[in-house]
Amino acid sequence: MLPRLTFLLLAFFASLAGQGIQSAARQRVQIYDQPYRPQFHFSPREHWMNDPNGLVFFEGEYHLFFQYNPLGGEWGHMSWGHAVSRDLLHWKELPVALPEEHGIMMFTGSTVVDEHNTSGFCRGGKPCLVAIYTGHTPAKGAKPALETQNLAYSNDRGRTWVKYRRNPVLDMHLANFRDPKVFWSQQKKRWTLIVALPDKHKVRLYASPDLKLWTAISEFGPAGATGGQWECPELFELPVRGRTETRWVLKVGLNPGGRVGGSGEQYFIGHFNGQRFRNDNPASLTLWTDYGKDCYCALTFNGLPGNRSPVMMGWMDNWQYAAKLPTEPWRGQMTLPRKLSLRATANGIRLIQTPIDAFAGLRTERLDLTDSVDLPSRAFQLTVTHDLGQAREIGWKLLMKNDTYTTVGYNRRKGVLFVDRSHSGDSGFSKDFPARIEAPLRLPGSILSLNIIVDRSSIEVFADNGRVTMTNLLFPGEGANGLQFYSIGAEEQAILPGAPPPASLWRLKSIH
């Protein structure tokens, strides 16, 4: 039996420890509870963030690296920030993985699991992680900028990294040559690298047996949209739903030149034989990955088990106004992770994006839905499957307070889905922010299905079971929690009152 004094001391210290844990938890909630802070999208604790980098699954952990300025809230000193997750929703931010060094910034790239130690970097007979990134040396005086491809490796599950002493491994002596995505080609039993030639509106493919020695094997482009510069290329294979066949998707960002201004992303559907990508569609056809203004440089996770659907995440922002967003002490957030597939439609095979299955676990309570609702929070999901009947337009005004609201609607005659954020709240920081953004959506019948996900300062809309996706930022004022449904009939010019269509409204819990 413990002496009474010892017992009391142990109880006292245990109490202090418990209070410390509770205090830390309260502090964390406060840190992630600013008015515009996303509650279930990843955002860094502080400072600037842009493109996702090096998305990879390894030994039960998802790794999210990202373009990060560890010194402030604006772009600069680009390094690789780092966060890990067990479920793609709850993230733990770790120290900077790859810092700017010797005047060379760490631009976008990818990470692979070197299962068989092809690189020679792995130790102890175990697989290791190898990052392939663009090293960016800014212009200085008469000397132009330089972008090269480089390696770093980790033998402790991505916690510490060593840069390859013989970097760079690929140097074309170009100022714009960036954003490598690397994967293992089963057809050729070698590594494949796809990288952007931004000014030429092309991507170039390379092959390597060991991640160190690279040989050019083909190019693709120009094709589709060619405004601005091409960036952030991706190449991956997906099954076509309902068929025993697959297609390859080549995705590329462009900035400026996005469909609705600023940065945006397009994709091509085709075949890849391990050497060359062949586009199935005319070069003039442009397919957009996201019809909103705020989804850029979306990348897929390497290293997923073979039975897993590919998963993609993007930077939820636009270069038109990224540096002006009214958020602090952080600036930048990621989209929800999205499960990918392909579907055969009347117009051809198209990319399908839906929130990952685990997202449903964030639902807490189902809320009653009437024609007008005051929500208890600004983190919610609204799912709708509605027969339009005679209506020529229906919509939902979200995050309402007085003359502040954001509208999500569908105009049947025009065949467009739209998000109107011109009255959404704080938007005066950029002339390019207030806008009505439209996406073509012709329905085969009269049934409209929408999955609308709101997280304080963002709205993601997945229409027709993921065939059309729209991602947009917004900054509503305090107390803007209202939701209202409207319908415009076949002949009437005014908004009609009435009960909302069949829908489910869910409150979503925070990951913090």
Taking the C-alpha atoms of residue 243 and residue 54, their distance in angstroms, rounded to an integer, is 31
Catalytic residue among 51, 294, 317, 455: 51
Tell me, rounded to whole angstroms, the distance of Cα 276 from its chain centroid.
27
> Which two three-digit tokens encode residue 476?
């509503």
C-alpha closest to that of 235 among 199, 187, 200? 187
Q: Please name the helix (run of DSSP H) or strand (run of DSSP E) that holds residue 172, with its range, or none.
A: strand 170-174
CA–CA distance from 170 to each of 132, 147, 274 (Å)? 10, 9, 20
**Per-residue pLDDT of the chain in tens (512 residues, 90 and over written 9):** 445 555 555 555 455 556 554 544 455 556 899 999 999 999 999 999 999 999 999 999 999 999 999 999 999 999 999 999 999 999 999 999 999 999 999 999 999 999 999 999 999 999 999 999 999 999 999 999 999 999 999 999 999 999 999 999 999 999 999 999 999 998 999 999 999 999 999 999 999 999 999 999 999 999 999 999 999 999 999 999 999 999 999 999 999 999 999 999 999 999 999 999 999 999 999 999 999 999 999 999 999 988 888 999 999 999 999 999 999 999 999 999 999 999 999 999 999 999 999 999 999 989 888 777 888 889 999 999 999 988 999 999 999 999 999 999 999 999 999 999 999 999 999 999 999 999 999 998 899 999 999 999 999 999 999 999 999 999 999 999 999 999 998 554 434 445 567 789 999 999 99
What's the order of all strands across the beta sheet hosting 47-58?
A: 91-98, 79-85, 61-69, 47-58, 330-331
Q: How high is the pLDDT of residue 309?
A: 87
Taking the C-alpha atoms of residue 146 and residue 134, their distance in angstroms, rounded to an integer, is 10
- Is residue 441 a contact partner of residue 417, using CB atoms and an 8 Å limit? yes
Q: How high is the pLDDT of residue 23?
A: 47
3-state secondary structure 127-159: CEEEEEEEEEECCECCECCEEEEEEEEECCCCC
Q: How high is the pLDDT of residue 495?
A: 43
Task: Give the domains, in start order, of the chain with CATH numbers.
Answer: 37-355 (2.115.10.20), 358-508 (2.60.120.560)
- Is residue 216 a contact partner of residue 204, using CB atoms and an 8 Å limit? yes
- Is residue 223 a contact partner of residue 283, using CB atoms and an 8 Å limit? yes
Hey, is 23 helix, strand or coil?
Answer: helix
Backbone angles phi, psi at 255, to 5 degrees: -150, 125
Tell me, rounded to whole angstroms, the distance of Cα 394 from its chain centroid.
28
Q: How high is the pLDDT of residue 373?
A: 82
- Is residue 169 a contact partner of residue 151, using CB atoms and an 8 Å limit? yes
First vs last C-alpha separation in the chain: 41
> Which two three-digit tokens encode residue 369?
């839905």
Q: Where are the alpha helices (DSSP H) in 192-336?
A: none
Hey, is 207 helix, strand or coil?
Answer: strand
Q: How high is the pLDDT of residue 376?
A: 81
The question of whether 368 is a catalytic residue gets the answer: no
